[in-house]
């Protein structure tokens, strides 16, 4: 599932796998493997690709729709 999300973000941003590769530490082949579900990216990798595509990862509470967590509004050491 995450591979489809990564691919959708990339395509909606009009970026190629090579574009993402050029601007991150990931080989184009690795990005392809993420998108096709061959290998699973870490959360940090997902964040980096999302950022490159102009997206932000947001977690929203089901109970309180106004309660939102992002990697930028929490401290990593709290996790």
Instruction: Break the chain into its structural domains and give their ranges.
Output: 2-78
Decide if pLDDT at 73 tops 90.
no
Other CB atoms within a 10 A radius of the CB of residue 46 amount to: 18
Other CB atoms within a 10 A radius of the CB of residue 64 amount to: 8
Residues 67 and 52: their CA atoms lie apart, in Å, by 25
- C-beta of residue 69 within 8 angstroms of C-beta of residue 57: no
Q: Among 46-50, 55-59, 71-75, whose mean pLDDT is lowest?
A: 71-75
pLDDT tens profile 4-41? 999 999 999 999 999 999 999 899 999 999 999 999 99
- pTM: predicted TM-score of the whole model, two decimal places: 0.83
Nearest CA-CA partner of 9 in 40, 52, 60: 52
Q: What is the pLDDT of residue 71?
A: 77
Q: What is the pLDDT of residue 76?
A: 56
Looking at 3.40.30.10, 1.20.1250.20, 3.40.50.150, 1.10.260.40, the CATH number of the domain 2-78 comes to 1.10.260.40
70 φ/ψ sector (left φ>0, alpha ψ -120 to 50, else beta): beta
């Amino acid at each position: 599932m995450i591979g489809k999300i990564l691919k959708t973000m990339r395509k909606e941003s009009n970026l190629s796998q090579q574009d993402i590769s050029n601007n991150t530490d990931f080989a184009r082949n690795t990005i392809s493997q993420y998108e096709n579900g061959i290998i699973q990216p870490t959360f940090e990798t997902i964040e980096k690709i999302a950022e490159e595509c102009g997206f932000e990862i947001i977690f929203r509470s089901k109970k309180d729709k106004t309660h939102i967590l992002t990697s930028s509004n929490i401290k990593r050491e709290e996790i």
